[in-house]
Amino acid sequence: MKHAALLPLIVALGACRASQVPTIEEYAGSAVGQNISVVRDVVRRPGSRATTISWQERTYTLPSGHWVYVEPDRQNCDIHYEVNGEDIIVGYTPVGSGCVHQ
């Protein structure tokens, strides 16, 4: 049942990437409030930036007890998703020089 609720987000993210390149705010912002599994599934899809550059999954823990999942978005730009103890994305931070002029 939970995967059925995630389908619209996955389709929307895929449609955005196919028709035009969304801004980081549009792309990452749509994931806030979702389970991190949604982003992980998108990252693992064939043809994603992560698979084309042989990305290795990266995570790290914050002092607050939350943790961060890192997704490669574009050249020199990664999205750091902050995830709470229930695996829900509560925020994100674009990191890298490629994030500035998107």
Half-sphere exposure of residue 10, counting CA atoms within 13 Å on the CB side?
Answer: 18
* φ/ψ of residue 25, rounded to 5: -60, -40
pLDDT digits (tens, 9 = 90+) for 44-69: 999 888 989 988 999 999 999 999 99
- Whole-number Å distance between alpha carbons of 5 and 65: 27
pLDDT digits (tens, 9 = 90+) for 68-100: 999 999 899 999 999 999 999 999 999 999 998
- Whole-number Å distance between alpha carbons of 4 and 79: 25
